[in-house]
Structures are given as C-alpha cells and as structure tokens.
Amino acid sequence: MKVSVIRSAVIDARIDEVWAALRDFKSHDRWHPAVARSRMENDLDGDVVGGVRRFSLTDGAEFREQLLRLSDREHTFSYCILDSPLPLFDYVATVRLRPVTDGGLTFWDWRSQFRAPDHRAAELEKMVGQKIYEDGFSGLRRFLAEKEGRPQLPGHKEATAALATARDEHLPSKALVVASAGGPEVMTLGDVTVPAPGPRQVRIRQTAIAVNYIDIQHRRGILAGFDLPGTPGVEGVGVIIDVGDQVNGLFPGDRVAYMSRKPGSYAEIRCVNADACIPVPAGVSDIDASTLLKGVTAGLLLSRVFRAAPGATILIQAVAGGLGHLLSQWAKSMGLKVIGTVSTANKAKFSRDRGCDYPIVVADDTSATSEVMRITNGLGVDYWVHSSGARGLNAALACLSRFGHCAVIGDRNGQVMPLDVSVLKQRSLTVSAPVCFDYFDDRSNFLLVHQLFAKIQSRTIIPAIEAFPLSQASKAHSRIENRQTMGAVVLTPGG
Ligand SMILES: NC(=O)c1ccc[n+]([C@@H]2O[C@H](COP(=O)([O-])OP(=O)(O)OC[C@H]3O[C@@H](n4cnc5c(N)ncnc54)[C@H](OP(=O)(O)O)[C@@H]3O)[C@@H](O)[C@H]2O)c1
C-alpha cells in the first residue's frame, strides 16, 4: 500500500539557524531523540549529494539513507532509504524550510512517500509521523534552545510525568450555554468541569475568544453544525495547561491560537485538538491573535480563492466589520483598489482609515450599484466579496467586470441563494462559496496564519477590536446584530 506522511511545525528560530543544523545530513544524532549514532560513509561531508549516512536508533536498529538533493537557496533536501530493518519500501522524504515572519520563525515541512505491506501501513505511517518527524521537531527545538542558552522547554516525557497528577483532574470552568435557539438572551453563563485532555488534545486556559458572525447564526438556529444545548464559538487564544497522549511539539505554558469547525470556545477552559493549535509569536498580543479566523479568511480570499492583480478593484461588503476591516488592509497592502459598503458615515471614516479607498454608505445592499459604476468608470469591479447572501447577489454580479469573480462568503439570514448561470456567461464571470474551515483541514495552509501574524507584527494590518467580558457575550452579540460595532469583537474570560 502507498503511504504518504506530511508533518509541519514552526520552529522558534531564524531560518539560517535551523538550516545550519539540518543541512548536515549526519547531524541528526545531535538533535533527534531517536538517533543514537550517525556517520557518513567514505568520510564524506554531510552535504555531499549522493552521500550515504549510516545510523542507528536508540533501540539499536540500523539504517542507511542517501542524500538525493540539497539546495541552500531553497532550504530543502531530499533523501531515500537504502537499507532498513522496517518494510519502508521506496521511501523518499523531503525537508523544506520557509521563513514565516519578520519575527524570525521558521516553517518546517517534512514529508515522505513509501510503500508498506497493507497490514503494517497504518502502524508505519504513525511511527514515521510521530517518532521520526514530530519528535524530530521537538528535538531540534531543544537543541537550538540549548545552543542559544535559552531556557529550555520541558521535554515531552518530563512534562508528561510532571503533569500526570494534574491530567487526571477535572478543572472547574465557566462556559456560555445555549439551551434553545433564540436571541442574544438565550446564552447563559454556567459552571462546568473540563476533563483532562484526551489523546491528541490539549487543554487550554483561554484569554481571548473571538466573536464571529457564524456564532450568531448558530445561536439563532439558522446554520447547521451546532447541537443544542451547546456552547458557541469556533476559535480561541490561550495558554496550554496540559497535553494529552500523542501530542508532540506543544507544551504546557505555550501560547496558542486555534480555530475549529466544532463550536465550544465561549468558555474559560476547554480541550481542543492539538493539530488545530498554532503557536502565537512574540509581538502578537492574545487579543490581536484572536483575529485568526477572520484574518486567515482575508488571506485565503486574496490568495487561494481569487488572485487579483495589483491595481485590480475589490469590493468588500461590510468593510467596517470584523472580517471587512482586516480584508481591506490586506488588499490595500497588495496594491488593490478597495471599495467597501458600510451603513453609516462613521463607519465610512473608520474604513477609510483602514485601507478602504472608496467607502460607500448604502441604505441596503442593492443601492451600491450606481456608486460602484461611477467609481470604476462604468467598468465594474474585478472582485466582489459578498456577505449578504441572496440579498443583493444579482446586483453584485451586475457590478462585475469581464472575468470578474464573486466570492459568496456569508448570508445574514440563511436564505436560499438561487444562481442563474446564464448571467455568468454574459461576461465570463465566476462565483465561489469558500468556507475557511475547508482550507484549514490541510496544514499546508497554516502558512497563511504565519503571514497574518507577520502582517500584524509589522503593523501592515492593525486589528481594531472591541472587548467584552465573557459574561457579557449577549451584549456583544446584540451590538453586532444591531450593526453597532466597528472592527472585530472579542470576549475575555475573567474580565
Ligand atoms: N465563508 C467563510 O469562511 C467566512 C469566514 C468568516 C466570515 N464569514 C462571513 O463574513 C461576514 C462577516 O463576518 P464577521 O464575523 O466579520 O461579521 P461582521 O462583518 O463584523 O458583522 C457585523 C457587520 O455586518 C454588517 N451587516 C450587514 N447586514 C447585517 C445584518 N442584517 N445584521 C447585522 N449586521 C449586518 C454590519 O455592517 P454595516 O452596518 O456597515 O452594514 C455589521 O456591523 C459574515 O457574513 C460571515 O458569515 C465567512
């Protein structure tokens, strides 16, 4: 059976430091916890393509691997297994590094393909992913920290042992619960206990919980994916209290952000899948990191969904909103001409200060047409980011230029959205309905998160955030639904 293994991690060190450690093919016995001894055959240097490393693991197993390609410019190398006591046939792996932020972090992608006997494929996939790749990430982090004389993160084993007692405990917490669908008042704050994290989970004490429009739709019962009674909220930021079994690369005390299609974040403490957690770099506050979902949605709208060239025109509905104000800043930084709709003059001023060249005050979603045509000299916009569902969709399509694209990212009331494809044929238009969670099932898109954090660190994007104590979530929802907020809204536990 053919097996693919892909793992990635962010290393808290500059790319040149990480690369210096990795590019020497025989150096893994210095940083990888599973490798006992390693040397190059024929006394070759560790960066000679074609060279073979012979190494033994701590359990005594012996391997030979050959370096197939190495590029200092691209920070990548590939290698294959020549001899192994395990049935890892035709094993070829690639390590690739990328700088991810101005703050000097490195994104490490490690992937391989091999064939394995059917009955051992799952076991070998897990072994390679965890014991080789994820333990390798942790090992290199420890190695670099020691080298720099930085305080070391606890090793996984030590941390797990120290936390063994705590992990059995249920911790008291407060959570907002929706018993039956309805208005903001249906959310009530109650006492809950949070069990120890299960396998591949971490337990987090949350510090900032974003409010997203989807939470309102869940609470109102107009969007699937929320079971009653339930706790709303699809993202959070906080500090890891403890980690479950089979968690690699995350430790108690780490500051992380996550987003998850499974609601439940309106709480002081919760368990989430470790795979969804992304370390928050220094220079990004917890409150700013709480723009994760909206920020990466902005990023994917501008890179994965439709790639507008510099100088192209984008129209953003509700440009003064949570997503809107981040998207306008990101679009502006790419050289796009930004038009946005808002409902008040105050919001127009707010968005003008945040990258929107032409805020249009509209009484309803359809009345932007004449203004859009005036601003674009009758050509229409190249890209329309639409969040009002069926309302105004036909007007949006009428405002698109030839080859224009409309991304339908939301609807306010859960109405059906009929689409007449013959309208698209008139000017070779395209329409998409992207959902951010679909893009983040694949960790390779985590790069967008690092781009977002880098833009926040460099102040290319300055989030505007209104904070409410967790206990006042109903008030926060009311203000959003009454269109009184500008920027994003966040809940702060303990506030
Ligand atoms: N597809 C995805 O993956 C994805 C991801 C994130 C967000 N979204 C969607 O993007 C949109 C923005 O999300 P957000 O969380 O940042 O919310 P938001 O834009 O901050 O929502 C509040 C704003 O929406 C505008 N609005 C328009 N019609 C409204 C109505 N009937 N009721 C209340 N507000 C209305 C208001 O701005 P004005 O008063 O200026 O009109 C209001 O200030 C939502 O539709 C959301 O579902 C989709």
pLDDT at 251: 78
Buried residues in 454-464 as b, exposed as e (16+ CB within 10 A)? bbbbeebbbbb
**Ligand 1 atom closest to Cα of 389?**
45
Across 107-130, average pLDDT: 92
pLDDT, tens only, 421-461: 999 999 999 999 999 999 987 777 788 999 999 999 999 99
Average pLDDT over residues 380-392: 94
Q: Could you tell me if 24 and 89 lie in one domain?
A: yes
Q: Is the CB of 318 under 6 A from ligand 1?
A: yes
* Nearest atom, ligand 1, residue 484 CA: 43
Same domain, 345 and 213: no
DSSP one-letter string for 74-118: TTEEEEEEEE-SS--EEEEEEEEEEE--TT--EEEEEEEEEE--G
Q: Decide: 361 in ligand 1 pocket, CB within 6 A.
A: no
Residues 299, 352: Cα–Cα separation, whole Å: 20
Confidence of residue 283 (pLDDT cuts 50, 70, 90): confident
Ligand 1 binding pocket includes 434 (Cβ within 6 Å): yes
Q: Angle 135-148/15-22 helices, nearest 10 degrees?
A: 110
**295 C-beta closer than 6 A to ligand 1:** no
Query: Is 443 within the bounds of a domain?
Result: no
Number of domains forming the structure of the chain: 3
Predicted confidence (pLDDT) at residue 149 exceeds the cutoff of 80: no
Distance 318 CA to ligand 1 centre (A): 6
Q: Do 145 and 180 lie in a common domain?
A: no
Which pLDDT value is given to residue 441?
Answer: 78
CB of 436 shorter than 6 A to ligand 1: yes
Distance in angstroms (rounded) separating the CA atoms of residues 111 and 152? 27
Both structure tokens of 255: 């500051």
3-state secondary structure 155-217: CHHHHHHHCHHHHCCCEEEEEEEECCCCCHHHEEEEEEEECCCCCCEEEEEEEEEEECHHHHH
* Of 483, 485, 489, best ligand 1 pocket probe by most atoms within 8 Å of the beta carbon: 483
- Residue 440 class from Cβ within 10 Å (0-12 exposed, 13-18 middle, 19+ buried)? buried
Mean pLDDT is highest, among 147-161, 239-253, 341-355, 412-426, for 341-355
Residue nearest to atom 37 of ligand 1 (CA): 318
Ligand 1 center–CA 217 separation, angstroms: 11
**Span from the CA of 376 to the centroid of ligand 1 (angstroms):** 24
Q: Are residues 78 and 116 in the same domain?
A: yes
pLDDT over 90 (residue 147): no
Please check whether residue 450 lies inside any domain of the structure: no
pLDDT of residue 168: 56
Q: Does one domain contain both 170 and 249?
A: yes
Question: Is the confidence at residue 164, as pLDDT, over 90?
Answer: no
Of 13, 91, 24, residue with least CA distance to 51: 24
Domain boundary among 102, 117, 152: 152
- pLDDT, mean of residues 23-40: 96
Cβ density class 281-307: b for 16+ within 10 Å, e for less: beebebbbbbbbbbbbbbbbbbbebbe
Q: Is 343 in the pocket of ligand 1 (CB under 6 A)?
A: yes
Rounded distance from Cα 77 to ligand 1 centre (Å): 44
Q: Provide the mean pLDDT of the chain.
A: 91
Residue keyed to tokens 């339930």: 230
Is residue 85 in some structural domain?
A: yes
Tokens, residue 371: 């203004």
Task: Give the mean pLDDT of 117-144.
Answer: 92
Q: Phi, psi at residue 340, to the nearest 5°?
A: -145, 155
Do 115 and 142 lie in one domain? The reply is yes
Rg (CA), the chain: 25
CA 230 vs CA 65, 104, 480: distances in Å = 51, 40, 21
> Which residues constitute the domain of residue 213?
164-291+463-492
- What is the whole-number distance in angstroms between the Cα of residue 415 and the centre of ligand 1? 15
323 CB less than 6 Å from ligand 1? yes
320 lines ligand 1 (CB under 6 A): yes
Domain at 220, CATH number: 3.90.180.10
Ligand 1 atom closest to 319 (CA)? 40
Q: Are residues 399 and 470 in the same domain?
A: no
| Residue 444 counted as domain residue | no
Provide the percentage of residues in the chain whose pLDDT is more than 70: 94
**Atom of ligand 1 at shortest range from CA of 214:** 47
How sure is the predictor about 366, in pLDDT bands with cuts at 50, 70 and 90? low
Residue that finishes a domain, picked among 128, 152, 176: 152
Q: Which residue has the higher pLDDT, 393 or 169?
A: 393
> Please, are residues 266 and 175 in contact by the beta-carbon 8 Å criterion?
yes
pLDDT at 298 exceeding the cut of 70: yes
Q: What is the pLDDT of residue 219?
A: 97
pTM: 0.73
Distance of CA 31 from the midpoint of ligand 1 (Å)? 47
Tell which wins on pLDDT, 364 or 254.
254
Residue the block writes with tokens 């090992």: 139
pLDDT band at residue 7 using 50, 70 and 90 as cut-offs:
confident
pLDDT score recorded for residue 274: 93
Considering the domain architecture, whether residues 74 and 95 belong to the same structural domain is answered as yes
Ligand 1 center–CA 303 separation, angstroms? 21
Tell how far the Cα of 346 is from the centroid of ligand 1, in angstroms.
17
pLDDT at 415: 78
* CA–centroid distance, residue 158 to ligand 1 (Å): 46
pLDDT digits (tens, 9 = 90+) for 228-260: 999 999 999 999 998 888 887 787 788 999 999
**256 and 320 together in one domain:** no
Per-residue pLDDT at 151? 55
On whether both 208 and 338 belong to a single domain, the answer is no
Calculate what percentage of the chain has a pLDDT beyond 90: 77
Confidence at 365, pLDDT banded by 50, 70, 90? low
Same domain, 209 and 194: yes
- Does 388 lie in the same domain as 361? yes
Cβ within 8 Å of residue 421, ≥6 positions away? none
324 CA from centroid of ligand 1 (Å): 8
**What per-residue confidence (pLDDT) applies to 412?**
80
Say if 158 falls within a structural domain: no
Q: Provide the H-helix boundaries in 369-457.
A: 369-375, 393-398, 421-425, 436-439, 447-457
Whether residue 90 has pLDDT greater than 80: yes
